[in-house]
Each structure stands twice: as structure tokens, then as C-alpha cells.
């Protein structure tokens, strides 16, 4: 927890509400000097004061303690292995149903149209397969899922896609 960020967040929220340091201190039972020390990042509010502080500032304790940074809530976890299996199932659908089967052709056409691509090339080219694998994971991340970065590091064969995924994860707060 960064005391300077927490303090800056308290100051910003307090000012937005048009409350002075003295008024805030009176409302939660501390001196204006204590509020001033929080806002300068010299000290942090006592944990017993945080619920009242959040209520007065019309926010959450998390929002204060994270210095205004967004709390990321994930819908679930995806793995590189599961995404790989999903793409392999699509390939297998063509083998089991037949590549001329209407259901298979419709699925392929939908993917090709939505992604402006030719996914069947991925079924015979490992490099192209990993491009689709990276895209599948990115789509899950956009949808609110989490992937363990060590899973990415250990399960991508091509450095190019491994690095793209690591950069994407880092930019989205996944360490």
C-alpha cells in the first residue's frame, strides 16, 4: 500500500466533496492535523476509521487504500492448455463431422468472417495456430477472465506470441 497514493486519493475525494480537512477530521473524530498527515502520505488512517471515512467520501475502503486504482474482479481463470484444447476441438470437428458438413462449414465461416481470417490454416501451421491461441486468450481476458502469466511463459512455443501475451498481461495488470 502506497501511503502517498492513499493520501492523494483522500485529498482528491475530500476536495471533490467540498469538505475541509477540519470538517473531515471533526466528522470522523480526529484532528485536522491527522487528516493533513494522511493527505501528505506521512501516515495512514487507523483501520477502524476507514469505513466511516469511505462513507463520508462516498466511496469504498478499497478505492481509498488502492489510491484510486481500479479493483479488477475476474470472472474466472483460463489456461493456455484449455484454450489450446478448444482450438484443437474445432480442428477435430472437421475430422469427425467432415469438412463439408454444414455445421463445421458454418462454424469456420463464422470465425473467418468475424476475425477476417482463414482459421483452417492454423490446423496445419503451428505458428498460425499459436496466433489463434493468443487471440483466444486475449478475447477471454477482454471478457474478464484471468490467465496466469507463468502459464503463458511455459506453454507458448514461439517467443513472438509469448512476448505479445506477456506484454498484454502486464498492460492489463496481470503479473
d(CA 78, CA 89): 16
Cβ atoms < 10 Å from Cβ of 45: 22
In 3D space, the residue among 108, 125, 126 whose CA is nearest the CA of residue 117 turns out to be 108
Question: 8 and 66 in contact (C-beta within 8 Å)?
Answer: no
Helices then strands, each counted (H, E), the chain? 10, 2
Residue 72: its pLDDT value, please? Answer: 62
Residue 62: its pLDDT value, please? Answer: 83
Residue 75: its pLDDT value, please? Answer: 84
DSSP 69: P
Residue 171: its pLDDT value, please? Answer: 79
Q: Where are the beta strands (DSSP E) in the chain?
A: 76-77, 145-146
Residue 71: its pLDDT value, please? Answer: 58
Residue 70: its pLDDT value, please? Answer: 62
Locate 105 and state its grid cell. 462449414
d(CA 139, CA 147): 11
| Length of the chain counted residue by residue | 175
End-to-end Cα separation, the chain, in angstroms: 17
In 3D space, the residue among 175, 173, 156 whose CA is nearest the CA of residue 71 turns out to be 173
Which residue ranges of the chain lie beneath pLDDT 50? none
Residue 169: its pLDDT value, please? Answer: 86
Cβ atoms < 10 Å from Cβ of 11: 18
Rg (CA), the chain: 25
Amino acid at each position: 500500500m502506497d501511503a502517498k497514493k492513499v493520501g492523494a486519493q483522500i485529498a482528491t475525494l475530500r476536495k471533490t466533496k467540498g469538505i475541509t480537512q477540519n470538517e473531515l477530521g471533526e466528522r470522523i473524530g480526529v484532528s485536522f492535523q491527522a487528516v493533513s498527515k494522511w493527505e501528505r502520505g506521512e501516515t495512514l488512517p487507523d483501520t477502524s476509521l476507514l469505513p466511516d471515512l469511505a462513507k463520508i467520501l462516498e466511496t469504498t475502503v478499497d478505492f481509498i487504500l488502492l489510491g484510486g486504482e481500479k479493483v479488477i474482479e475476474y470472472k474466472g481463470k483460463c489456461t493456455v492448455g484449455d484454450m489450446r484444447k478448444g482450438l484443437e476441438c474445432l480442428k477435430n470437428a472437421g475430422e469427425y463431422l467432415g469438412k463439408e458438413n454444414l455445421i463445421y462449414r458454418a462454424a469456420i465461416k463464422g470465425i473467418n468472417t468475424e476475425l477476417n481470417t482463414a482459421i483452417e490454416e492454423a490446423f496445419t501451421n503451428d505458428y498460425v495456430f499459436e496466433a489463434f491461441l493468443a487471440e483466444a486468450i486475449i478475447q477471454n481476458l477482454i471478457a474478464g477472465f484471468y490467465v496466469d502469466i507463468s502459464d503463458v511463459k511455459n506453454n507458448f512455443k514461439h517467443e513472438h506470441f509469448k512476448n505479445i501475451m506477456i506484454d498484454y498481461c502486464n498492460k492489463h495488470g496481470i503479473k
